[in-house]
Structure 1
Amino acid sequence: MSDNKIVVIGLGYVGLPTAALMAKAGFDVHGVDINPDTLDALNAGRCPIGEPEVVQLVTDALASGRFKATSQPEAGDVFIICVPTPVTDDKKSDVSIVRAATRALAKHVKKGDLVILESTSPIGTTEFTVGEELAAQGFDIREDLDLCYCPERVFPGSTISEIVENDRIIGGLTPRAAERASAIYARFCTGPQLRTTSATAEFSKLMENTYRDVNIALANVFGHIAEAAGIDVNEVIALANRHPRVNVHTPGPGVGGHCIPVDPWFLIDGFPEETGLLLQSRNINDNQAARIWSRVKATGATIRKVAILGAAYRGNLDDARDTPAEYLIHALEADGVSYAVHDPYVSRFRLHGGREIPISANLEEALEGADAAIIMTDHSDYRGLGPQAFAGMAGAVVADGRSLVDRAALAAAQFTVIPVGAPQLDAK
């Protein structure tokens, strides 16, 4: 069997670079997405993702003629699903997009095809969501088709090397399916391949991101204790991490991105009696932004406007998905406080529900007239900021959610500094 024609459903942060890598490896790739802006960019030969290495790869793939993109699937040999798997407003698993994508591609699947789900999903999604839709078309999902779950491990900013070099878990509904998928990934991935069942692979992906979420929550709790005890948690962490089997994370203003703050909910939703620790960790991390705002209010200063420094969920990226800044915005709006958002990388910032928040690329403009500034993202632009940077503010409160500013210089210049995981520094 040739397996030369690949259909990739979902051309986002995972699907698009995966499609381009496969085209580079010599596959004939048909990409599918329902976002007209994504399709317009690709059909004009442009990459809608700003990461330089991804841009080069995608533009080369488009120019080669081996990669094209439309809004509808077509016949192929291998179908790869890379669509979002969000949670609902009440934190329940939502695999409706996976189901819809499978229903759309199922009309083009023929006996003998390989179908791979890459989207992070609740345990059983491959068999009981993707499989059900394929079975509804009359296929025996074990005999007529090969069905797999093969999750990605992507770190924005290093997307290509992560896809190519990381270990790749190949979760087959059958051993035959795993063997066949393994041969596909071997064409463009150099990392070791680890074969298992689809359900085990699904659980593994959820476990990875949940592990990180829980450890971040632990660091944030250590930060809470340090604030109450009058200790700088960063000094404590540096000492504790000298232990050969300890690696405490750094506390911050919350957790963002489309993985860590989302994936634990799939386990909490599916296994509520077993996941009390996971639920507590989620609540701790999601409350960090509001907690910082509470500390600002506790200074007693009159706060009418806040400058929010950073919309991206991680430093030096243009990605604001599930950013902690959204939690801060909700807290400010609940108190009737106005705000301006600055970010040197993010140009469009949409909250859940689609509301767009204005973004300024000019720091001085965002700070003008603000009574307090709260740093939410570890952009290199914010590292070492001192009194001169905040001179245009109306007030003198700086909350440093990322341990970036020059605390001593700000305090000496009559600013009140609120570091995460350390006691407040009052104006000297």
Structure 2
Amino acid sequence: MTSRSVVFVGLGYIGLPTAVVMANHGLQVTGVDIKQENVERINRGEVTIVETGLEEQLKRAVESGNLKATTQMPHADVYIIAVPTPFKENYEGDLSYIMGVAESIAPQLQGDELIILESTSPPTTTRKLSEKVLELRPDLVADGTENPENKPVLYFAYCPERILPGKAMEELITNSRIIGGQTPRATEIATEIYGAFCTGELAPTDDVTAEMAKLAENSFRDVNIAFANELSLISDKLGIDVWELINLTNKHPRVNILQPGPGVGGHCIAVDPWFIVSADRENSNLIRTAREVNDGKPEWVIGKVEDAAGSASAPVIAALGLAFKPDIDDLRESPAMDITAKLAERFSHGTVLAVEPNVKELPAKLQGFENVEFAEYNDAIERADVVLLLVDHQEFKTVAATALAGKQVVDTKGIWR
């Protein structure tokens, strides 16, 4: 068991579950977040995100004294950064959040600390992070560089998460983990930290390879989803049930086609491939094309809704699901959210009933539309002329066929076939 103190920066969908798991495995963890309200709630043992099993474990971590949250950056032996890395208009990574954390950490450093980046990032981001920290602290030096003045040494590593939202509390422990130290000693210290709670394999490598591995994982999934989505477009033109097609095709012992949907969302799969494309535009044709296929699927869905609404003067459209995947409250990069917003624009003469059972109020992105209402799903289906299924939440799977009788139905997930 390591006795090193840990500061976890960013208490969102990845940071909070990870900090909790670390604390419940005996590490002394301080979570840092910019939102005072979230800090106060966490210190009371109240969850700020929907994640199965998190609430009970959070209370245990807080009550044990191993986890506390703050808005102020303290000193620690290890800093782990899990903040957003969106992309800019040209699809290059926006590293401003990461560099902002570097500015907050730098004054606290004394030497011998390890700084770990977990945020999904373009290749060489960890290197840029270390350069930023050392620019702010020229009295320190990175491990592995020449040090004739014998300055205190810092260590840097990239250790990406690879968990499934909704199963984070389990997969944080059981999944394998890539440990990408800039030097062997950085890898060794990082392995000690993750080894305190991970039972999966801890695979050592360098930081740039680790960054690329994370991007390759999600790009692989994006390409395979794009194949399924492209099949759905072709099948629709040919009058084929794409879900039956995929089921039959997958009976081949070496074929496993994924399921199509309204697009691809979340902060990883919808973003990461662009980081590879921006790193090498000449050699990333397949990855770029897959992104374009998946990014184009929402507009196709909107077209199906327009066809279903026909010439109705004031259609009522129920948009079921706003999250980017089933049974969570994560709205980041959600195609369902984008589709709902665009429907509100296209059907300004009608009403859009936005349904998301995992959030408590209409998301900010939809609040500016006078024709959008936040609704419960049974009521929305009853009122609707067109029922659009965007996310296959458990609640929607129980909808009776009689409830859909007489409605125009656009089922992007195939659960009501």
TM-score (norm. length: structure 2): 0.90
Distance (Å, rounded) in 2 between the aligned partners of 1:12 and 1:184? 20
Length, aligned pairs only: 403
Q: Which residue is equivalent to 1:28?
A: 28
Contact 2:266 2:333 in 1 (8 A): yes
1:378 paired residue among 387, 392, 398: 392
What aligned pairs does 1:212-227 form with structure 2 within 5 A after superposition?
Answer: 212-227=221-236
Q: Which residue is equivalent to 1:416?
A: none
Q: Which residue is equivalent to 1:331?
A: 342
Contact 1:135 1:141 in 2 (8 A): no
How far residue 299 of structure 1 moved from its aligned partner, in angstroms, is 4.6
Q: Partner amino acid for 2:412?
A: G
Quickly say closer, same or farther: Cα 1:45–1:327, change in 2 above 3 A. closer
Q: Which residue is equivalent to 1:414?
A: none
Structure 1 unaligned segments of length 5 or more: list them.
408-428
2:104 aligned counterpart, secondary structure: helix
Contact 1:116 1:149 in 2 (8 A): yes
How far residue 353 of structure 1 moved from its aligned partner, in angstroms, is 10
How far residue 322 of structure 1 moved from its aligned partner, in angstroms, is 1.6
Q: Which residue is equivalent to 1:350?
A: 363
Distance (Å, rounded) in 1 between the aligned partners of 2:79 and 2:31? 10
2:108 aligned counterpart, secondary structure: coil
Deviates more, 1:134-143 or 1:58-67: 134-143
Are 2:264 and 1:255 aligned?
yes
Deviates more, 1:253-262 or 1:318-327: 318-327
Distance (Å, rounded) in 2 between the aligned partners of 1:132 and 1:251? 42
Deviates more, 1:349-358 or 1:337-346: 349-358
Q: Which residue is equivalent to 1:413?
A: none
How far residue 297 of structure 1 moved from its aligned partner, in angstroms, is 2.2
Distance (Å, rounded) in 1 between the aligned partners of 2:200 and 2:229? 33
Q: Which residue is equivalent to 1:390?
A: 404
Distance (Å, rounded) in 2 between the aligned partners of 1:352 and 1:9? 26
Deviates more, 1:103-112 or 1:37-46: 37-46
Deviations 1:86-111 (A, max 9, x none): 12345331111011011101111121
1:388 aligned counterpart, secondary structure: helix
Distance (Å, rounded) in 2 between the aligned partners of 1:203 and 1:109? 28
2:204 aligned counterpart, secondary structure: strand
Q: Which residue is equivalent to 2:142?
A: 141
Q: Which residue is equivalent to 2:150?
A: none
Q: Which residue is equivalent to 1:244?
A: 253
Distance (Å, rounded) in 1 between the aligned partners of 2:32 and 2:229? 40
Distance (Å, rounded) in 1 between the aligned partners of 2:318 and 2:51? 27
Quickly say closer, same or farther: Cα 1:212–1:141, change in 2 above 3 A. same
Quickly say closer, same or farther: Cα 1:101–1:355, change in 2 above 3 A. farther
2:83 aligned counterpart, secondary structure: coil
Distance (Å, rounded) in 1 between the aligned partners of 2:86 and 2:362? 18
What aligned pairs does 1:80-159 form with structure 2 within 5 A after superposition?
Answer: 80-138=80-138, 139-143=140-144, 144-159=153-168
1:327 aligned counterpart, secondary structure: helix
Deviates more, 1:165-174 or 1:249-258: 249-258
Quickly say closer, same or farther: Cα 1:362–1:350, change in 2 above 3 A. closer
Q: Which residue is equivalent to 1:198?
A: 207
1:8 aligned counterpart, secondary structure: strand
2:53 aligned counterpart, secondary structure: helix
How far residue 8 of structure 1 moved from its aligned partner, in angstroms, is 0.8
Contact 1:320 1:349 in 2 (8 A): no
TM-score (norm. length: structure 1): 0.88
Are 2:237 and 1:231 aligned?
no
Are 2:208 and 1:207 aligned?
no
CA RMSD of aligned residues (A): 2.3
Quickly say closer, same or farther: Cα 1:254–1:270, change in 2 above 3 A. same
